Amino acid sequence: MMAINSAIGLFYYFRVILAVFSRPEERGAESQTFPSPSAADHVVLAVLLLFLLWIGLYPEPLIDLLRQLVIYQ
């Protein structure tokens, strides 16, 4: 059952990746063009990336905080 669900999920994710990386003329007339990202967008993405790396490499402070919140409720 897990293999079947994984294959179904892979099919849906592959369609999204294919749509992202296909050429604009292959997408059709209904495709939408997006504006180029601003400096603020780059800052937000950089902050989120750093937060994700911090939580992934050093999760103990967040785990301790969550434990304290659960204990005191």
Predicted confidence at residue 31, as pLDDT, reads 57
Question: What integer best gives the mean pLDDT of the chain?
Answer: 84
63 is written with which tokens? 């785990």
Q: Give yes or no for residue 26 having a pLDDT over 60.
A: no
Is residue 41 within 8 Å of 47, Cβ to Cβ? Answer: no
Predicted confidence at residue 42, as pLDDT, reads 92
The residue-averaged pLDDT of 3-9 equals 90
Predicted confidence at residue 21, as pLDDT, reads 78
Predicted confidence at residue 59, as pLDDT, reads 92
Is residue 34 within 8 Å of 27, Cβ to Cβ? Answer: no
Q: What is the pLDDT of residues 41-65, one digit of tens each?
A: 999 999 999 999 999 999 999 999 9
How many helices (H) and strands (E) in the chain? Answer: 4, 0
